[in-house]
Amino acid sequence: MTKFSPRNRKVKILATTGPATEDPEVLRALFRAGADAFRVNMSHGDHAFHAQTIAKIRALEAEFGRPIAILADLQGPKLRVGKFAEGRATIPHGAEFTFDRDPTPGNATRAELPHEEIFRVIEAGQRLLVNDGKIRLRVKSASPEAIVCTAEVGGVISDRKGVNVPDAEIPIPALTEKDRRDLAFAIEQGVDWIGLSFVQRPEDLIEARALMGDKGALCAKIEKPQAVRRIDEIIAAADGIMVARGDLGVELNPEEVPPLQKKIVNATRLTGKPVIVATQMLESMIESPIPTRAEVSDVANAVYDGADVVMLSAETAAGDWPEEAVLMMNAIASQIEHDEGYKQRVRFLDTPPDATVADALSHACMTIADTVELSAITVFTWSGNSARRVTRGRPAVPVMVLTPSMAVARRVSLLWGTHAVATKDIGSFEEMIAKGKRMALRHGFGSAGTKLIVMAGVPFGVSGATNLLHIATIDGDELVKHKKAK
């Protein structure tokens, strides 16, 4: 097993796989550079390619002895225009343009829109956005057969370009037949998180939950204005949240996205569930070895806001500089977390404990870490809930999560500040303390004389029974034993 040192930061980095990471050595380089987890984008590639990618990540996990989370990101339904007689057409600014149900190839005045669901809900005054918002159409009139629009912003429209409907809730499920096949494949492959696209309402998560059973965790991607309006309900129904700023930035005015990002991050943080900030974070590094200053500030703001995870998309999936992109994101995050103002800013959001023993103890961990010099907080957990409670307050020291379940270890590795370890369960108080110290030494979170918090539940081995907190000190004899054991 290759020796692995803990990361020098608490925010996690999620790197997207793709053609640029096909070589196992590139994946290995990304992990060494700072990638804590990997995203498999089901919109591209086939199952055979993704199975090979997942196997390579699991090989990395075995090599470095560290649980690595894998998120399978489902494509979701795609709304697209039909085809054009010449493959494309130009809609002049201010011109009238009609969408209809006729499959005849389109021209500069009309085109097919093969989604009867849109015809059922669209109303006059609402918008239709084509090709990532480059063409902006305002609906003049709508019937079951035709939607007549005025081009507020015209441009070139071509075959099968995407359509966004920001002002109406489209009555289609978040899962397509392709998504169901991809979800079954991902669960069979043992991925840890499922990213659900096109979420508009909390009910959209029900079918995915049923298909997943008790396997994996569900991350709702927030990319629709309709989801923003019901964000608290969606957070409650999901295991985690992704702020997918790509489509969100198409359907909303650009200036609306930054405050919404902060709102969603804060709302998710209050629950202790992981929140991912995604899309275009270091976009210029797809082609350039260095980012723009604005991109650096964007990543820094997400770190200051206390997001659990920052994500790289095409930068690592298909870019020319995948390793450099991870190194840059790692450097930005590390620099921000060592800023003297970081602790105050990341705790600007008040996260009061719920009225439970487990929450009170978790909150106490943060207070003790602020008062006493500690090397780590060690949490024994069966379900991962204790780790979620502890990290919610953004404690000043790392949180080492010890669990007998590899699935739980992988899942909680997306939480801010965690270092997850899959290890045998404990059976007594003495074993808990001894193991907590031993694991702290083994994973680089202690030396002779250092203190750490150990949190667990009695009776041991029972999920949801967190009721014990102990401060342990590593003595010199234990350090000597650890060195001899190595």
Catalytic-labelled residue, pool 279, 351, 378, 418: 279
Q: Per the residue annotation, which of 80, 134, 347, 451 is the catalytic one?
A: 80
| 39 labelled catalytic | yes
DSSP bridge pairs for 96: 150
Catalytic residue selected from 39, 110, 136, 435 = 39
109 is catalytic: no
User: How far separated are the first and last CA of the chain, in Å rounded?
Assistant: 13
Give helix 429-442 / helix 476-485 axis angle, nearest 10°.
60
Residue of 221, 394, 410, 437 marked active site: 221
80 in catalytic set: yes
Q: What are the Cα distances from residue 9, in Å, to 27, 222, 402, 420?
A: 20, 26, 19, 14
**HEC string for the chain:** CCCCCCCCCCCEEEEECCHHHCCHHHHHHHHHHCCCEEEEECCCCCHHHHHHHHHHHHHHHHHHCCCCEEEEECCCCCCECCCECCCEEEECCCCEEEEECCCCCECCCEEECCCHHHHHHCCCCCEEEECCCCEEEEEEEECCCEEEEEEEECEEEECCCEEECCCCCCCCCCCCHHHHHHHHHHHHCCCCEEEECCCCCCCHHHHHHHHHCCCCEEEEEECCHHHHHCHHHHHHHCCEEEEEHHHHHHHCCHHHHHHHHHHHHHHHHHHCCCEEEECCCCHHHHCCCCCCHHHHHHHHHHHHCCCCEEEECHHHHCCCCHHHHHHHHHHHHHHHHCCCCHHHHHCCCCCCCCCCHHHHHHHHHHHHHHHCCCCEEEEECCCCHHHHHHHHCCCCCCEEEEECCHHHHHHHCCCCCEEEEECCCCCCHHHHHHHHHHHHHHCCCCCCCCEEEEEEECCCCCCCCEEEEEEEECCHHHHHHHHHHC
Q: Which of 146, 145, 126, 121 is nearest to 137 (CA)?
A: 126
CA-to-CA distance for 313 and 286, rounded, in angstroms? 9
316 is catalytic: no
Among all residues, which ones are annotated catalytic?
A: 39, 80, 221, 279
